[in-house]
A and B are shown apart, each in its own frame.
Chain A
């Protein structure tokens, strides 16, 4: 459904690298996640695929159309929700929706079935201006506006950034429903926990792809024994373990530390060391790595 071949994009006279020779493809009906921090190149990739930006080199195809030659056809067959809100702040909910439908030569009625489940949640406020809506409501309206012309591919650039946990969960439930309707969805996020909800993910950093895989296979390929450390002052434990020579890596992870050890050091040896240093209640246990552990490891090895 989406294919990128050696896409490169630089900005300005200094040729600042934004996207560095990236190739990947997204299958029909897939939720594909671009996971990475600000400045990784996520938005540039979105803008090239939505025909708003021309690549320096390389080719890309969306829904069978070339992003440079066939940009008009692409624009009709995709929905795009940019990172900064795309809504007209001084139009109401209803006016925004009608506007986007009209621009694409359709009506709200014609494709209402696509947005119904989402729209009924904000319909009670349909006469409220978009500028006066909460983050969660804006997000729902923007999604409706991106869907109203019945696109085949949906591009969502950081739809959940700065939104609270409850709204984020609701948003991902909506995406799952859209996937069931057959849409292909490419979504970016800085939240690693959302990566696990995608069919496949690309981890990107500084314009390069570190890894493309299913979340399950990415985690399965971690390749080291990962431990959690609990039972003591976390800040002191963190500092101590970082200065401990057999430590490969040690990071805070919620209510525990995540630790990997160099070859030849067992958790018993590490526990004994910590006890010797006065941490008598410390527990080191093996654990399954998450996406965030994988990302940290990939960042270190690059």
Chain B
């Protein structure tokens, strides 16, 4: 399998504090990679380095074939990012949000028009194109934000707790979109607090106190730790944590 993210002893220090310590892993093309950890374990720091937003202290990493020290602008062009906290402009309409993001990523006018039509029909939101995003239900916003994060056809999409606060059906519809994207070759790097969602990932990494404490498929992790589910795997590892944010 083609590798799209690769890190080797990637480390970030803030003064004496080692937020992320010697992270080494690889993520393949089209893989759904779950990136879990207790609050304060160092997930956000690691993700920010991989997105080209934070300079590492030491170690190596490449994302979509680009170096996290010297090619951060190229990384940003080749990844998508969505977080629950911020993704869409609430006081722009659905179509305006799509146009805005597509424009930022340098798509041509004709591509923007084509992408907008394509995206709206895939989401079944043609009737909502001219509505303000603030008027949409949360579940629709999340699906729209995810689709918008893919508008420039990135090779990797980073999802930071994308599904908080929605009903169980909407949450699963969101995962249908994730599966669909992964099936078409996009690599999905996702954090979540829902442990059933950890089971949907091809492989899962669990960070504890700045290091990767475990990394394998959910099935193997459960076997290794003799755990009935991923919640128990997570609990066994994370309860040993000494630090919190």
Contacts and interface: CB of A to CB of B under 8 A. Distances in A.
Interface of A: 36-40, 133-137, 161-167, 169, 190-193, 205, 234-235, 238, 251-255, 292, 295-296, 299-300
B166 interface: yes
A238 B38 CA distance: 30
Interface stretch (B59-67, B95-103, B233-241): B233-241
Given A190-B164, A296-B168, A255 B39 contact: no
Interface stretch (B115-123, B146-154, B193-201): B193-201
Interface of B: 37-40, 137-139, 161, 164-170, 172, 175-176, 179, 183, 193-196, 199-200, 218-219, 222, 229-231, 234-235, 238-239, 241, 244-245
Contacts of B179: 235, 238
26 contacts: A37-B138, A38-B138, A39-B137, A40-B167, A135-B40, A135-B244, A136-B244, A162-B161, A162-B193, A164-B238, A165-B231, A165-B238, A166-B239, A166-B241, A167-B38, A169-B235, A190-B164, A191-B194, A235-B183, A238-B176, A238-B179, A254-B200, A254-B229, A254-B230, A255-B199, A255-B230
Contacts of B241: 166
A38 B163 CA distance: 11
A163 B161 CA distance: 11
A204 to B, nearest CB: 10
A133 B193 contact: no
Contacts of B39: 134-136, 163-164, 167
Given A38-B166, A134-B245, A137-B244, 16 more contacts: A134-B244, A162-B161, A166-B235, A166-B239, A166-B241, A190-B164, A190-B165, A190-B166, A192-B168, A235-B179, A251-B172, A254-B199, A254-B200, A255-B229, A299-B168, A299-B169
B238 A254 contact: no
A38, A135, A192, most chain B CB atoms within 10 A? A38
Contacts of A251: 168-169, 172
A162 to B, nearest CB: 6
A235 B183 CA distance: 9
Contacts of A238: 176, 179
A292 B172 CA distance: 12
Nearest to A294: B168
A239 B199 CA distance: 18
Nearest to A242: B176
A37 B218 CA distance: 27
